[in-house]
Amino acid sequence: MEERITVHEKARGETINVYIGEYRGTKYLHIREWYLDKDQEEKPTKKGVALPVEKCEALKDAIAQIGPSDGSLDERVTVHEKARGESINVYVGEYRGTRYLHIREWYLDKDQEEKPTKKGVAIPMEKVDALTDAIDQLVPTEKAEKAEKSEKKKK
């Protein structure tokens, strides 16, 4: 596996990690919850999102638009449209008096109403800078790799 950056440590050894992965020739930025298995080995969960690398700027723009400092509870920004009415959205939620930045998949139900899925993460607002720093650290690497491949093709 490539470089993985932990942006939030939760209870019981669970962490939220950011990393780049590839699936069917497309590179994705993963923001995913990981856990420790019975052998104390870290494993990814289904709780998270995989965003095409080219959508990372849209994600960072959405985070900036929502405003990590105050974060309006009624604003939701779509950063990626998927198939069958599914999308990845960024929004702020509150749980037990703490505000969280949610990055989550949404779907259209049978009445064509948008609903959130369990596929996503909730990051405390004070950890949002760590998330954007991790994205900045990982994504330029991808841009550099593309530039390098382009240079090799020219030769």
| pLDDT tens per residue across span 95-154 | 898 889 999 999 999 999 999 999 999 999 999 999 999 999 998 765 566 666 667 666
Strand bridging mode 76-81 / 26-36: unpaired
What CATH number is associated with residue 145?
Answer: 3.30.2450.30
| pLDDT tens per residue across span 46-103 | 999 999 999 999 999 999 888 655 556 668 889 999 888 899 999 998 889 888 999 9
Residue with tokens 């974060």: 71
Q: Domain range for residue 85?
A: 4-154
- Supply φ then ψ for residue 126, to 5 degrees: -70, -10
Cα separation of 51 and 74, whole Å? Answer: 23
Q: How many domains does the chain have?
A: 1
Eight-class DSSP state of 112 = S
Output the pTM of the full model: 0.83
